[in-house]
Structure 1
Amino acid sequence: MSGMTRQQFDGLMTQVLDQHPEVADIIITTGKAIQAEVHGELKDAVTAPDLGRLSPLLTKAMALALMGENARLQKALASKGSCDLSYALPGKGRFRVNIFSQRGSLALVMRRLPSRIPSMEELGLPGAFRDMAVEKNGLILVTGGTGSGKSNSLAALIDRINETRAGHIVTLEDPVEFTHPHKKGTVNQRELGIDFDTFASGLRAAFRQGPKVILVGEIRDPETMEIALQAAGTGHLVLSTLHTTDAGATVNRILGLFSPSEERLVRMRLAESLRYVVSQRLLPREGGGRVAAFEVMKNTLRIKELILQGESGDKTFYGVLEQGAAFGMQTFDQHFLTLYEAGLVTEETALLSASDRSRLGQMIDTLKARRGDQSTSLVLEGLEEEPGAK
C-alpha cells in the first residue's frame, strides 16, 4: 500500500479506537506496528488489513493522507521538520497531530482531545481556579510538561468565564482543541497558521478585537511575552501556558526570555501583572490510571517581593507557597502528601516526583507517626541522597 486515501486512514483509526476506547495517544512510526498509548503504556494496535511493522513508505502515505494539499503544512514540514494539525474522526474523537521527520522517514503522534469541555470539578482543579474565573485583568499561567493536562485546565477555566461573564473572549490556539459555544460570553477561536501567523502577531491584533479575556496557546518567545504583559497591564485578562516544572521555575523562565539589561523592568512588570501560576503533573494512580497534582502560586505581597528581589537564602518561592494555604497556595510536595494520604498514589510514586525529597519524606513520616504507622524511611534504589543535599 504505497498511497492512502483519507477514507482508508479513517478506517484504520476507527479500528484502533474500537480496540482501545481509552487511548490517549496514537503513535505511527517506521519499524513498529501502530502504537496506542493507554494509561501511559504503549500497546500494538491490530488492524485489518494487518499492516505489521510500518514501512517508511507507509508512514509517509499516512502523513500525506492527513496533510492533503495544505501548502502551509507541507512548507512547515520541509523547513522546520515538523507540523501540527487537528484531525477529527466523526463520532469517534478529535486529535491534535504532530507530523515530524526522524531518521529520514516521517512519524506521526496523535494526541486525543476530549470530545467535550471538562468541568473544573471533573478535573479536580484546586479552588484557586474558581478565583481565577473572577479576575478582571492580569496574567494567569498554567505550566507543566507535554501531556500534563494544561489545555484541559485552561478549557475548563475559559468555560467557567464563558458561563458567568458577558464579555468577549478571544483564543489563539495551535491548533484549536476544544470548541467553545457562545454562552453568557462571546467566544472567537483563532488557529495558528490559518487565522494568524505567529502568537505575537495574533496577540497584537487581539488588542483591536475588544476582548476582555485572551487565551494564548503558548508563550514561546520574548516578543509574545512582552505583548502578553502589555495586554495584562492594560485591563485584559491573559491566560497562557509555559513548559516549566514548577511555579518558581516559571518566574525564572520568564526572566530568562529577556536580556540582563531588561531584567529589572521585566521583574517590575511581572510583579505588577502576574495573578497566578499553576503547575501540574500527572502521576500513576494506585490501581491504574493517572491522577493530577497541582502547585499553586498566587501573587501575594510576599510573592511580589520575591519576583522583584529574587530568591535568597531562606526566602524562596517554595517556602512562601508552603506557608500560603490561607491564600489557596500549595507546593507539589504538599499535594503529593494529600494524594498519598488519600491512598491515590504510593509512597514511592510521591517521593520519585517530589520537588524536595527530604522535605516530603519528613511530611510522610509525620503523617505515619500521627496514624501510628511504622515510620519506614523508604530508600529508593539509586536515589539515596548525600547528607546536606536537597
Structure 2
Amino acid sequence: MLEKLNVTRFKTLREEALEFGRVNLFIGGNGTGKSNILEAIGIASACLGRGLGDTDIGLKGLRITPPELMKSSFKNEDLPKTFALEGEFSSGVTYKCTLQSREGDPLLRFFSESATVGNRRIFGRSNRGASATGVSHVDRLEQHRGIWDQIKATYEIESQIADEFQRFSRYVIYTPQTDFLRGRWSGRIDTPPIGLHGEGLPEAASTFLDCWRRYLPGNPLHTIEHEKEIINSLVDLVWLPGWASQFGSHYAPASLTSRDIADRASKILYFRDKFMHASRNRLSGYDSSEGTLFLLFSAIVLGHPDAPRIFALDNVDNALNPRLTKSLVERVIKICEITNENNSSLGAQQVFLTSHNPTALDAFDLFDDNNRIFVVKRNAKGHTTAKRLIPPEGMTKDNWEIVRGGRNLSQLWLDGDIPGALGNI
C-alpha cells in the first residue's frame, strides 16, 4: 500500500507531501488539482509498470499530456527541467524517480531512479551509472522504462517487495462513462476486467457473478468467510436503488433491444425489474438506471478477482443521489477494511476517490486514521495543496459532536465551515 507520496514540480503540484490511508477522498473546487494528484500517483505507478509512452500512460487512465506540460510552470518561477516523485510503501520500500523531457521529445525519460529498503539499495540509476542487486546495467536500460519492469523477470527480489511493486504497478484511474455503460459505445478492454470507462461491463458482470456463485450456500469450493462477506456485500450494492432483482448478460431478442446499442449481436447486460410484467421485465443496460449501472461498475472494480488492488475512481458520486453516494463510499471503506485486516486475496486494498457531493464525507469517521479526507485548493501562487481534514488537536469524539452542533460533515461543507472545500472563495 502507498503510504506517502512527495510530489515536486508536477503540473499544479509545486511541492506537496501526501500521507495516505486505505480510502482517500479528495474534495475541493473545480480546477484545484484533485485529478492531478490522482495522475501523480499514476505516473509513479507507470514508472514501475510497462513504461512512460503515451499508450502506457493512457492505459492507466491519465490524460495524454505533452511531457513539457507535465512540469510545473508558474508565473515568476523558472521553468523546471524535471519533476520528481517519491513514494513510501507499507512494506518499507522507498521508491524515487526524477523524470525529464526535452522540447520536441514525445517521451518522458528517467533522469534518476532508485528503490531502497532502509539503507539497502535494491536498484538505481543516475548519470553516474545504473545497477540492480549489485550488478551494473549501464548500457542495458531503456530511458523511458523503469528499472523494475526491465529486471523483474531476471533477478530474485524478496517476495514482499515484488508483490508491493506488482500491486502498485497495476494502479489505474477509472472514469466510467454513460455511453460505454449503456452499450451505446464499444471499445477494446485494454484494462481488465471492465475497461477504464465500462467498455467490458457485460462480460465483467458475467464473470463477477460466476465468482459470487462460488460462495453461495451449498457450494463446498469456497468457504473463506471474509471473501464471502466481500462478494455478498458488493452484489448487495447493486440492489440499493430498489428496483432490480437480478442482473447478468444474455443474447437479447432484437425486438427488445434498442437499435442504439453498438453491438446487438453480442451478449448484452440486462437487469430484471421486479415491478414489471414477466414477459417484459428484462431491461438492457441501455434502458436501465444510470445510477444502477455505476453501482455495478463500482462493485466489479472493488471485488472482481482480475481487478487492480489499488485504484482511483474519479467522481465517485457519478450519477448517484446523495443517499447512494454515501452508501457507495461506506461500502468502499468496508471492503478495504475487510481486505486489509484479513490479508485477503479478494477485494480492493487501497482506493483514491474524488467527489463534489457533500454526502460522500458522511461515510467517514475523522477519528479513523485508516480513511482520510483531503481538502484540495490552490494557494496564492496557484500551487495545489492538499490538507487532511482532521478534528482539532486534543479533541475527543464527544467534544467533536458538541462543536459540530449536531451537523454532519456534509452540512459543514455546505455551510462553508470546511475552509477551501467550496473552492477558492
Q: TM-score range by the shorter chain?
A: under 0.3
Which structure has the higher relative contact order (CA within 8 Å, separation 6+)?
2
Structure with bigger helix share is 1
Q: TM-score, normalized by length of structure 1?
A: 0.28
